[in-house]
Amino acid sequence: MPLTSITKDAANLTLTVVGDYPVPQQRLWDAFADPRQLERFWGPPTMPATFTHHDLRVGGRAEYFLTGPAGEKWSGSWKFTAVDPINSFEAEDGEDNAEDENMPASMTFTFATTPTGSRMVCVTRFSSLEAMERTIPGMEVGLRAAMSQLDAVLAG
């Protein structure tokens, strides 16, 4: 499994996910920057993601949906607020998620070179402690399942 840690910080309303991968930083970045690669690991195996739009630039948006085993769909979107190609990007949850107060408010992904390859750190920020406590149990299970697929994407 590529994830090396998942840390909850109630004082700062964050969930930090760290993954270490045996590939160059550029390769790891490309997996997140290319929607066809991203959709191969963003959703858990039982709820694959489909990205219908992915404009990775400041002010751009990503739009996607997850499809459940019975065909049910859940939509999501991000608005990119900062992009430093190969190094990082930040995104706020899109308007279509605004009605769900338990959704994370924002995410920051950073990518760095390590002695054995590269590291991804994702810090998810929540709007309240209640939203964090309600969301993290399912989110943590989903992240572990989804991100475990990243190794196969990076190997391809």
Q: Enumerate the domain spans of the chain.
A: 3-40+80-143
Query: What's the confidence (pLDDT) of residue 116?
Result: 95
Residue 140, pLDDT above cutoff 90: no
Task: Assess whether pLDDT exceeds 50 at residue 126.
Answer: yes
Q: Which residue has the higher pLDDT, 102 or 17?
A: 17
Among residues 63, 97, 94, 69, the alpha carbon closest in space to that of 81 is found at 94
Handedness of CA 39, 3, 131, 87 (dihedral sign): negative
Q: What is the pLDDT of residue 98?
A: 45
Q: Is 42 helix (H, G, I), strand (E, B) or coil?
A: coil
Query: Structure pTM?
Result: 0.89
Q: Of 36, 76, 85, whose CA–CA distance to 57 is shortest?
A: 85
CATH classification of 3-40+80-143, choosing from 3.40.50.1370, 3.40.630.10, 3.30.530.20, 3.30.360.10? 3.30.530.20
pLDDT in tens, 58-76: 999 999 999 999 999 999 9
pLDDT score, position 138: 84
* pLDDT tens readout for residues 19-56: 999 999 999 999 999 999 999 999 889 999 999 999 99
Q: Grade residue 101 by pLDDT with cuts at 50, 70 and 90.
A: low
Task: Kindly report the backbone phi and psi dihedral angles of residue 42, in degrees, each rounded to the nearest multiple of 5, phi listed first.
Answer: -65, -40
Tokens of 42: 């963003």
Tell which wins on pLDDT, 34 or 101. 34
